[in-house]
Amino acid sequence: MNLFSHYDRSATFLANLDDDWARLIRLVGPCLHDPKAAREPYEALVRAIAYQQLTAKAGDAIIGRLKALFEDREFPRPEELIAADFDRMRACGFSASKVATIKAIAEGALTGIVPSHELAVMIDDETLIERMISIKGVGRWTVEMLLMYSLERTDVLPADDFGVREGYRTLKSLPEQPQPKELRKLSEAWSPHRTVAAWYLWRMPRERGNVLK
């Protein structure tokens, strides 16, 4: 069985929305969204902060250097990140603000603001978002990455994401990107398949305008 075949229903739903979606899905092919459900929310948030505004390759390198600070650990524990030397974390490639946010996330994991995976699966999306954006430096986008990639939520649309907004602008040949609030409203028609919609919008070809036309 194809590992990604459970996304076929979502892709079919989106392709039936209109001709633009149908052409995009035909061009990109099957959805290969690949969540990491085994990760604890704490680790997922730290990783999301690490990758913010960076390429995947750069984020991988920074996470690799962070893990190297803690021998014999698959991933550092919250108490270890709290105690970690600021300058050593900066040397991994984190900005000062990212170091502060990562330490705040670690504090949140110890105080219970960041729930365990076992508890998180029982909490709805908006409640988790509101709960975790109370951590200084953690925004809605960061929690949405957790929802999509760690908790495998199927109806998440990160409307603040530049790539998603630009993908939709190009898909519809719009003169400018829709604002996040507008895109959230538009995306109601894609529910309950908005995670897969975001995956496709991230892959919208942008060279030489809308190549789907």
Mean pLDDT taken over the chain: 91
Please identify which of the residues 18, 20, 60, 161 carries the catalytic annotation.
Answer: 161
Of 2-16, 97-111, 176-190, least confident by mean pLDDT is: 2-16
Q: Please give, one letter per residue, the 3-state secondary structure of the chain.
A: CCCCHHHHHHHHHHHCCCHHHHHHHHHHCCCCCCCCCCCCHHHHHHHHHHHCCCCHHHHHHHHHHHHHCCCCCCCCCHHHHHHCCHHHHHHHCCCHHHHHHHHHHHHHHHHCCCCCHHHHCCCCHHHHHHHHCCCCCCCHHHHHHHHHHCCCCCCCCCCCCHHHHHHHHHHCCCCCCCCHHHHHHHHHHHCCCHHHHHHHHHCCCCCCCCCCC
CA 178 centroid distance within chain: 19
Could you read off the pLDDT of 45-97 as tens digits, one per residue?
999 899 888 788 898 999 999 999 998 788 999 999 999 999 999 999 999 99
Q: How many CA atoms does the CB half-sphere of 75 hold within 13 Å?
A: 14
pLDDT of residue 208: 43
Nearest to 194 by CA among 23, 70, 31: 31
With cut-offs at 50, 70 and 90, classify the pLDDT of residue 4: low
CA distance linking residue 36 with residue 24, whole number of Å? 25
Determine whether 161 is an active site residue: yes
Of 3-12, 169-178, 183-192, least confident by mean pLDDT is: 3-12
Q: In the numeric block, which tokens belong to residue 189?
A: 């028609």
Determine the residue type at 160. D
Sign of CA pseudo-dihedral 101, 106, 53, 130: negative
pLDDT of residue 1: 42
Average pLDDT over residues 166-185: 96
How far is CA 103 from each of CA 5, 58, 80, 119, 190, rounded to the nearest angstrom?
38, 20, 9, 22, 36
CB 151 within 8 A of CB 121: yes
